[in-house]
C-alpha cells in the first residue's frame, strides 16, 4: 500500500513517527493509502529548514518571485487533468468540480503575479524641513497554513501563493484525508523555480497543529475548517503572539422574492445546494421563499430536480452531478441530522438516505434530501450539515426573510433572487454577512477581491487573498530620514514635529 510522507526541503520524505492515518476512496470505502502523521519534532525540522531558506527568498526582488508564480500557473494548466484525477480519487468530487477546485486556486496564483505592485509602499518628499518619509512592506518570515479536506487544491493555493509572492517561507499542514494534491502542488512550485525549503508540506493531526500554534519561529497562521477548531486555533495562536486568520463554519441562506425567476432560482439552488455533495463552506443550505405562494411554486420546481440528481463515482464522467461524501462517519452524521429534522417536525419532501449504487455498496453515497417547513429551532437549521441537504424555511415577508440570516450565528455567504433593484440594494446594504450574491448563488469573490465571512464564520480582521492577503502576510515599516544639510544644532527635548 502506498505510504504518503511529507515534502520537506524540496523532496518527498518518509514520516518518522510510525503513526499513520488512512486515506480512503470515498466511492468504495476502501483504504487506498496511508499518510504519515508528523511529530512535533518533524514539524520543527521543517520550520528550521524554512527559516534558513526564507532569508534569500525574502531578499529576492518581487519581480523575480512573480516570475516563479507565472511559471507555476503554466504548470498547473499543463497538469490540470492529473491534478483533477488525483483530487477526485481522494475526495470523491466529480472531475469538472475537481478542475474548478484547481482553477480557483490558479486564479490566486495569477493575481500574485502582480506582487511587485502589491508590495509597493508609500513615499512623501519634504514631510518636514529636509525630511523625507517612506514606508515599505516586508515579509513576516516563516508562516503556516492549516487547510481542510473539501478544497485540497484551492485553499492551500489561496494561502501559500500569496505568502510566497510576498517573500515568506511557508509550512502547509493539509487535511490528512486527501494529502496527495498538496504535495503535487509543492512539487510544481519547485519545478517553477521556487528554492528548496521555501514551501514545505507536513502531514499530520492535532500534534502537528499544536506544534504550529506553539512554534516561536512561525509568525502567522491561516486556517480553514470548522468553527470549533477555528476558534481553538485563533485563541491559542494569538495567545502565542502570532498573527492569525481563521475561517469556520457556515449556514448560507438564499432569499427568493415573489418577483424572482423561479426556474432560475431553482436551478441555482440545485447547483449551490447539492454540488460537491454539499461539502462547501459556501453551499446554499437554506432556501427562504417569501410568501406561501412563492414557497409552493418553488417546492414544485425543486422536488423533481432533486429526485433527478445523478449520484455516482467520479469515474462515471459527465453523467454524475455529485459524488460521495468524504467519510463513512460524515455520512452517518448527515443521515442523523436528516432523521432529527423529521423527528422535529420538518416535512421531508425528498429522502435520499436510502440511495444505493450497485457495485459501490460500501461507498459514502447519499441522494439529495429536500426539507420543507423547516423552522429556526430545528437542528437541521442551526447546524452546518455539510451534505446534500437543502432546507426550505418559509417567510411571510421580506423583513422576516432577512432576519433569518441576520440572526444566525454564521455569516459566511448569502444570496437574494429578485428582479427588483431597490430590494437587492437594500439587502446588500443591510445584511450582516461577509459575501453577498444578487442573483448569484455562490458569491465567492474573484482573486483580486477578498474572501471572508462575518460573525462566527471568521476570526481575525483580514480576509483571504486579494489585497487583504498581502496585508496579512507582510508588515509595514516606516522610515523618517533627514540628511546633514537639514540638521539643526543642539538637542531637542520636545516631541519631534515636522514644522
Output the domain CATH number for residue 311: 3.40.309.10
User: Is residue 490, in this structure, part of any structural domain at all?
Assistant: no
Phi and psi of 39, rounded to 5°? -85, 170
- Cβ neighbours of residue 379 under 8 Å, at least 6 residues apart? 337, 340, 341, 344
User: Is residue 152, in this structure, part of any structural domain at all?
Assistant: yes
Whether 263 and 305 share a structural domain:
yes
pLDDT, residue 495, reads 77
User: Is residue 268, in this structure, part of any structural domain at all?
Assistant: yes
- Got the DSSP string for 36-75? E---HHHHHHHHHHHHHHHHHHHHS-HHHHHHHHHHHHHH
pLDDT, residue 486, reads 53
Closest alpha carbon to 275 in 283, 286, 267 = 283
Residues known to be catalytic:
281
User: Is residue 465, in this structure, part of any structural domain at all?
Assistant: yes
User: Is residue 496, in this structure, part of any structural domain at all?
Assistant: no
Q: Cell 511587485 appears where?
A: 116
Where on the phi/psi map is residue 92: left (φ > 0), alpha (ψ -120 to 50), or beta? left
**pTM of the entire predicted model:** 0.95
User: Is residue 312, in this structure, part of any structural domain at all?
Assistant: yes
Q: What angle do the packed helices 421-430 and 398-407 form, to 10 degrees?
A: 30
Closest alpha carbon to 441 in 310, 256, 299 = 256
Whether 350 and 433 share a structural domain:
yes
Whether 14 and 111 share a structural domain:
yes
User: Domain range spanning residue 430?
Assistant: 252-438
Whether 206 and 259 share a structural domain:
no
Output the tens digit of pLDDT for each of the chain's 499 residues: 899 999 999 999 999 999 999 999 999 999 999 999 999 999 999 999 999 999 999 999 999 999 999 999 999 999 999 999 999 999 999 999 999 999 999 999 999 999 999 999 999 999 988 899 999 999 999 999 999 999 999 999 999 999 999 999 999 999 999 999 999 999 999 999 999 999 999 999 999 999 999 999 999 999 999 999 999 999 999 999 999 999 999 999 999 999 999 999 999 999 999 999 999 999 999 999 999 999 999 999 999 999 999 999 999 988 899 999 999 999 999 999 999 999 999 999 999 999 999 999 999 999 999 999 999 999 999 999 999 999 999 999 999 999 999 999 999 999 999 999 999 999 999 999 999 999 999 999 999 999 999 999 999 989 999 999 999 999 999 999 988 775 566 767 777 776 6
Whether 183 and 36 share a structural domain:
yes
User: Is residue 447, in this structure, part of any structural domain at all?
Assistant: no
pLDDT, residue 498, reads 65
Whether 461 and 363 share a structural domain:
no
Q: Write the CA distances from 431 to 211, 373, 415, integer angstroms.
A: 38, 23, 10
CB 158 within 8 A of CB 451: yes
pLDDT, residue 487, reads 56
Whether 393 and 462 share a structural domain:
no
In the chain, how many domains are there?
Answer: 2
Whether 307 and 198 share a structural domain:
no
Whether 193 and 122 share a structural domain:
yes
Whether 278 and 373 share a structural domain:
yes
Output the domain CATH number for residue 243: 3.40.605.10
Whether 201 and 267 share a structural domain:
no
User: Is residue 445, in this structure, part of any structural domain at all?
Assistant: no
CB 392 within 8 A of CB 373: yes
Whether 238 and 260 share a structural domain:
no
Amino acid at each position: 500500500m502506498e505510504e504518503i510522507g511529507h515534502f520537506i526541503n524540496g523532496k518527498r520524505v518518509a514520516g518518522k513517527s510510525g503513526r499513520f492515518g488512512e486515506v480512503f476512496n470515498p466511492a468504495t470505502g476502501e483504504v487506498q493509502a496511508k499518510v504519515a502523521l508528523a511529530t512535533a519534532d518533524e514539524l520543527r525540522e521543517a520550520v528550521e529548514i524554512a527559516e534558513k531558506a526564507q532569508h534569500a527568498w525574502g531578499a529576492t526582488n518581487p519581480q523575480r518571485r512573480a516570475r516563479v508564480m507565472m511559471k507555476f500557473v503554466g504548470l498547473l494548466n499543463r497538469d490540470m487533468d492529473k491534478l483533477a484525477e488525483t483530487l477526485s480519487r481522494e475526495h470523491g468530487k466529480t472531475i469538472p468540480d475537481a478542475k474548478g477546485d484547481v482553477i480557483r486556486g490558479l486564479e490566486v496564483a495569477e493575481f500574485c503575479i502582480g506582487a511587485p505592485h502589491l508590495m509597493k509602499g508609500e513615499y512623501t518628499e519634504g514631510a518636514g524641513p529636509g525630511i523625507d518619509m517612506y514606508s515599505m512592506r516586508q515579509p513576516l518570515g516563516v508562516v503556516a497554513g492549516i487547510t481542510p479536506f473539501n478544497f485540497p487544491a484551492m485553499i492551500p493555493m489561496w494561502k501559500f501563493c500569496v505568502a510566497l509572492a510576498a517573500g515568506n517561507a511557508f509550512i502547509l499542514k493539509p487535511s490528512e484525508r486527501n494529502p496527495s494534491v498538496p504535495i503535487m502542488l509543492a512539487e510544481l512550485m519547485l519545478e517553477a523555480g521556487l528554492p528548496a525549503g521555501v514551501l514545505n508540506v507536513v502531514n499530520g493531526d492535532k500534534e502537528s497543529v499544536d506544534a504550529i500554534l506553539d512554534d516561536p519561529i512561525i509568525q502567522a497562521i491561516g486556517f480553514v475548517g470548522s468553527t470549533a477548531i477555528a476558534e481553538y486555533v485563533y485563541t491559542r495562536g494569538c495567545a502565542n503572539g502570532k498573527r492569525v486568520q481563521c475561517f469556520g463554519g457556515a449556514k448560507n441562506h438564499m432569499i427568493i422574492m415573489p418577483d424572482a425567476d423561479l426556474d432560475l432560482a431553482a436551478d441555482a439552488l440545485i447547483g449551490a445546494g447539492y454540488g460537491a455533495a454539499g461539502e462547501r463552506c459556501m453551499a446554499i443550505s437554506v432556501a427562504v421563499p417569501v410568501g406561501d405562494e412563492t414557497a409552493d411554486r418553488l417546492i414544485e420546481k425543486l422536488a423533481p430536480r432533486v429526485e433527478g440528481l445523478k449520484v455516482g463515482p467520479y469515474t462515471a464522467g459527465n453523467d454524475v452531478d455529485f459524488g460521495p461524501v468524504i467519510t463513512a462517519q460524515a455520512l452517518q452524521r448527515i443521515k442523523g441530522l436528516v432523521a432529527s429534522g423529521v423527528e422535529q417536525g420538518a416535512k421531508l419532501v425528498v429522502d435520499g438516505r436510502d440511495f444505493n449504487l450497485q457495485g459501490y455498496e460500501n461507498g459514502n453515497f447519499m441522494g439529495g434530501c429536500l426539507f420543507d417547513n423547516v423552522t429556526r429551532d430545528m437542528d437541521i437549521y442551526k447546524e452546518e450539515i455539510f451534505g446534500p441537504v437543502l432546507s426550505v424555511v418559509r417567510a411571510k415577508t421580506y423583513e422576516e426573510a432577512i432576519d433569518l440570516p441576520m440572526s444566525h450565528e454564521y455569516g459566511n455567504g448569502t444570496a437574494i433572487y429578485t428582479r427588483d433593484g431597490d430590494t437587492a440594494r437594500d439587502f446588500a446594504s443591510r445584511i450582516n454577512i461577509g459575501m453577498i450574491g444578487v442573483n448569484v448563488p455562490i458569491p465567492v469573490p474573484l482573486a483580486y477581491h477578498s474572501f471572508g465571512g462575518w460573525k462566527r464564520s471568521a476570526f481575525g480582521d483580514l480576509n483571504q487573498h486579494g489585497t487583504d492577503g498581502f496585508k496579512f502576510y507582510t508588515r509595514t515599516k516606516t522610515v523618517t530620514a533627514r540628511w546633514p544639510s537639514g540638521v539643526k544644532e543642539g538637542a531637542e527635548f520636545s516631541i519631534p514635529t515636522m514644522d
